[in-house]
Structure 1
Amino acid sequence: MAEAVQITFLGGLGDIGRNCAAIECGGEVLLLDCGVLFPDEDMPGAEFVLPDLEYLRDRADRIVGCICTHGHEDHIGALPWALEWLSFPVYGSPFTLGLIRNRLEERGLSDRTTLIPIGDHDRVRIGAFNCEFIPVTHSVPSGLISAIGTPQGLILHSSDFKLDLNPVDGRRTDLARIGAIARDEGVRLLLCDSTNSEIPGSSRSETEVGEVLRGVFSAHPDRRLVVAAFSSHIHRVQQVADAAVGSGRKVATLGLSMKRNFALARELGLLRLPDHAVIDVADVENYPPGQVCVVSTGSQGETRSALALAATGDSRWIDIGADDTVVLSSSPIPGNEARVSRMINNLVRREAIVVHSGQLEVHTSGHGKQDELRTLHTVADPEYFVPVHGETRHLAAHGDLAKKMGMPSDRVVLARDGEQVELSDRGVANRGQVTSGDYYYVNGRLVESDRGLFSERAILGGQGVVNVVVVLSRDKGRLLARPHFESKGWVGADSAQDLELAGADEVADAVEEHLASGETEGLARVVRRAAGQFVNHNTGRRPMIVPVIIEI
């Protein structure tokens, strides 16, 4: 009997983000990606959400490496936190490793790992795992499908992918190699991207977006073009640069990540434009509007992003006005719609023309839709299948698609974060929850798992806080002064004084009644209840009540 292989999903199954899986066999652990999830409105104050790294800390001396399939934050962004606690080599394409290197240098963690470059069709032994890396098309350069040899057969991980027959860089997903592997070795288990599993048809080619962008440039010959895109989407940036140079414009970058990734891609030969066409953003005001194109970050309206600051007139580098056409070359990520809409309104107030994906097809997805998923399933012909990378509904839809293609239902295994799938001589089975499945939130310099923190922040942000200070005589057990109300964010200044005085009287009556009964315990509860009832009755609001008891 061959040794069993376990795959533990530490993130990415139930959310679009924090992708991370641990493949275990023979006492060794191989990681597939280590990404972050960007917090939604239910997580106020959190910067990022991490995979369940506690599971890895318990296996720190067994980790033989991490394969980073491509350079998006939801696949590489958690590495700085993982490498604060652990040390292991990281494998990826030169572009992916360049993005990782920047993040590690910022955090002073470069000495915690060895970055090992891998290229298309490279075969590398990582611990006990024989791996082959296959080119795949996505919305970032140099993505890789991983074919991982184990004692239980080959595991094929699709990475994020689409089947673009006319990619900007000519680098297509190598279906021929996947077909050869399926024919010669066989794919025991397929782990496949589920993001667009609910959507019929196929994704538009990236080069089609280039045609639309050239049309936008032609339609605005005398206006400055500001094009916002993801800084890692070098194929999109290439097409913006081509359209700009083709119309006689200079190109400048706005936003630190765009500047860095632009330079890295040029250094690696992934982004091609002549030196004379590149200018510093500090110099754009020296050129007529029709001779400049600015490529910017901030297409999602992120707070403090380069374009969001420019939209409110707070940019250090450019002043958006009536001579500008702003192109949002992306679609709003679910949850970002309100921020993007607010940014568009701010841009229009500054008299700019705004072009977005709701008007023109200035964006296309980097993830394959149903026809592309069917093609990959057909070519790979896996014995077993686990949908990955997606919300719960995406995973379920992908499982249904595989069954409709003829895969037996007992060979389609659905899993969620924290669960472990085991590959053995008997087949593939979900062994259930083996980790907590908890979210780990980056709060400044801290990493915390207490979700109750966000309930408190929501109350503070939406309802405010009322501190009630009560001063008692320790010996005589009586009030020494009228309780003091101090509030922030509860009511406006014109109402606060009268309400705070009246509230202090209500609390004083409740405290004196409690003390008169001979009770000395539970005073904080009495203060909180009396203040809370007063506040709710008089204002209809429910701020956080913080009793402060001082005994003298």
Structure 2
Amino acid sequence: MSEPVSVTFLGGLGDIGRNCAAIEIGRKIMLLDCGLMFPEADMLGIDLVLPDFSWLIERKDDIVGCIVTHGHEDHHGALAFALRELSFPIIGSALSLGFAANRIDEAGLMDRTEMIVVKDNERRKFGPFDCEFIPVTHSVPHGFATAFHTPQGTILHTGDWKLDLTPVDGRLTDLGVMGAIAQNEGVRLLLGDSTNADQHGHSRSEKSVGKVLEDLIAANKGRRIITACFASHVHRVQQIADAAIANGRVIATLGMSMKKNVRLAKEMGLLTIPDNKLLDIEDVKDLDPGTVCIISTGSQGEPMSALAKMAANESRWITLNDKDTVILSSHPIPGNETNVSNVINSMARIGVRVVHSGLHDVHATGHAKAEEIKTLISVIRPEFMIPVHGEYRHMQAHAELARTMGVKDSNVLICEDGDRIKITDKGIKKDGSVPANYLYVDGIVGDVGHGVIRDRQVLAEEGVVVVIVTVDHDSCEIITGPEVITRGWIYADEAEELLDEMRNLIAEAVMLSLEKGDHDSETLQRVVRKKAGKFVSDRTKRRPMIVPVVMSL
């Protein structure tokens, strides 16, 4: 009887981001990505969202390493936080590790890890984990699918991928290697990227964007061009640079991550821009606007990004005007649509000519669509399949594609964050769960819980009412108050009669409680909260946060 293998999902199932899973063989753990998620609109004041590390902290001595499938922050951005509590090597392509190291180095945690570079089609052992790294095409170079050759057969994790037959760097998704694994030993379990599973057809080639960009830059002759894309999208940066240079322009980068990533990609030979065409942002201020192309961060409308600062006229380097053309060479990640729309509107008010993916084909997705997924499944022919990396509807669509391609209905499992599955000689089944809550980052990691988020939502939607009263327990009298302070419920200057009525009712309730012998502050606070809450609800049909403050002499 072969040794069982477990897979635990810590993030990325039901969300776009926070991707993290753990493969377990013989009590040893190999992490598969450790990513972050950007906050949704209702996560007020939150900077980032991380996986729940509590289960990993309990098992910290069992962690052999973490494989980073590619260089996007939703797959490696949480490492800089995990390494505060844990210590393990990080495994991936040189570019992926370079991107991950930026955040880790900023956090001063490089001494808690070791960077292990692996190459295309390399097969390496790390403890009990026999891993094969298979090239896949994505919107960031040098991504991997990972084949785990285990006692329970091969587990193949696709990473983020697409079938781009004409990639900018010529590096194709290696279906041949995947097919050989399927032919020779078979794929016991497929863990597949679900992001675009509900979209019909094939994804466009990244190379097709280059021609669109060149035509747009040519059509905006004499105007300053500012393009925005992900700092990790090296191929997009290359195509923007090529299009700009072909039209007689020089390049400047804006945004710290863009500057760092361009430097790293050039050093690794993955980005080719002549030195005399790549200038510092300070050096393009006095040039003819028609000879300049700026490549900026902020394509997702992030509030503190370089593009957002430009739109708000707060940039140190660039002041936008009606002679500028801004090209958003991206598509909004789900949840970022409002931020992107706000930035576009702000630039439009200035008179900027804004080009986005709704007007021209200035973006190509990095994720496989339905026909590509069906092609992959036909090559791999997995016995079992679990959709990963996507919202629930994406995973459900992916599961249906697997069934269409012949995977037995009983062999397709839809899991959620926290689920553990066990693979044995008899098959695959769910095997309990582990904590997988959101870990919110607001300044210092871990200081914000679900309760704080709920409180912030109430404050934002309904406001707050603070009732302050001072009592003398010995004489059973109210010394001062009740004083009512309100923010976001009603405007006090315009509702004095309502507040007077509220004060009188609360005073009566407090006096009645004192006369009954309820002298402790906690009891009196409950009385104040109940009376104030009922009054506010009855009179205004609102439910602000009620904060009772009872002081005693």
Instruction: Give the match for residue 511 of structure 1.
Output: 510
What SS does structure 2 have at the residue aligned with 1:479? strand
Q: What is the deviation of 1:288?
A: 1.1
Q: Which residue of 2 aligns with 1:202?
A: 202
1:453 maps to amino acid? V
For residues 40 and 512 of structure 1, the distance between their equivalents in structure 2, rounded to whole angstroms, comes to 45
**CA distance, structure 2, for counterparts of residue 278 and residue 497 of structure 1:** 64
Alignment of 1:416 onto 2:409: no
Tell which deviates more after alignment, 38-47 or 193-202: 38-47
Instruction: Measure how far apart 1:374 and its partner are.
Output: 1.0
Instruction: Give, in angstroms, the shift of residue 413 of structure 1.
Output: 2.2
Amino acid paired to 2:152: Q
SS in 2 for 1:286: coil
SS at match of 1:14: coil
Matches within 5 A, 1:451-530: 451-492=450-491, 494-495=493-494, 500-520=499-519, 522-530=523-531
CA distance in 1, matches of 2:493, 2:473: 36
Distance in 1, Cα, partners of 2:89 & 2:65: 5
Q: Which amino acid aligns with 1:434?
A: S
Q: What does 1:235-314 correspond to in 2, within 5 Å? A: 235-314=235-314
The size of the alignment, in residue pairs, is: 551
Q: C-alpha offsets along residues 64-88 of structure 1, whole Å, 9 cap, x if unaligned?
A: 1110000111110111121111111
SS across alignment from 2:480: coil
2:441 match: 442
Task: Give unpaired runs (5+ residues) of structure 2.
Answer: none
Write out aligned runs for 1:76-95 (5 A). 76-95=76-95
Partner of 1:165: 165
For 1:498 and 1:282, the matched residues in 2 are separated by: 60
Partner of 1:13: 13
Asked if the contact 1:137–1:164 (Cα under 8 Å) also holds between the matched residues in 2, the reply is: yes
Q: Is the 8 A contact 1:257 1:297 kept in 2?
A: yes
Structure 1 pair 500–269 and aligned structure 2 pair: CA distance change class (3 A) = farther
1:482·1:505 contact (CA, 8 Å) conserved in 2? no
- Indicate conservation of the 8 Å contact 1:440/1:448, yes or no: no
Letter paired with 1:551 = S
Shift in CA distance, 482/59, structure 1 to aligned 2, threshold 3 Å: closer
Partner SS for 2:299: coil
Shift of 1:516: 3.1
Residues 14-41 of structure 1: CA deviation (Å, up to 9, x unaligned):
1111111111111211111011122212
1:542 match: 543
The answer to whether the 8 Å contact 1:189/1:383 transfers is yes
1:410 and 1:320 map into 2 onto residues whose CA distance is 57
Letter in 2 for 1:507: I
One-letter amino acid of the structure 2 residue matched with residue 550 of structure 1: M
In the other structure, the counterpart of 2:533 is 532
Contact 1:122–1:133 (Cα < 8 Å) also in 2: yes
Change (3 A) 1:501 1:268: farther
3-state SS of 1:85 partner:
coil
Structure 2 distance, partners of 1:199, 1:83, is: 37
Please tell me the residue identity of whatever aligns with 1:436: P
Deviation at 1:499, TM superposition (A): 5.3
Partner secondary structure for residue 482 of structure 1: strand
Cα deviations by residue, 1:391-430 (Å, 9 ceiling, x for unpaired): 1111111111111111211222222111111111112222
Seq. identity, %: 52
Note if contact 1:469-1:548 (Cα within 8 Å) is conserved in structure 2. yes
Cα distance in 2 between the residues matched to 1:92 and 1:429: 29
**Distance in 2 between residues matched to 1:452 and 1:86, nearest whole Å:** 26
In the TM superposition, what whole-angstrom CA distance separates every residue of 1:177-203 from its partner, at most 9, and x where no partner exists? 111222222222111111111111100
Query: What are the residue-to-residue correspondences of 1:319-398 with 2, within 5 Å?
Result: 319-398=319-398
Question: Contact 1:181 / 1:187 at 8 angstroms: preserved in 2?
Answer: yes
The corresponding residue for 2:57 is 57
SS of equivalent to 2:119: coil
3-state SS of paired residue (2:469): strand
Report the CA distance between 1:529 and its aligned residue: 2.5
- Are the equivalent residues in 2 in contact too, given 1:160–1:193 (CA < 8 A)? yes
Counterpart residue identity of residue 180, structure 2: A
CA distance in 2, matches of 1:482, 1:191: 63
RMSD over aligned CA atoms reads 1.6
Does the 8 Å contact 1:486/1:500 carry over to 2?
A: no
Between the aligned partners of 1:405 and 1:539, the Cα distance in structure 2 is 57
Deviations 1:458-506 (A, max 9, x none): 1212332222111011321210123222233333464366655554333
**What letter corresponds to residue 303 of structure 1 in structure 2?**
P
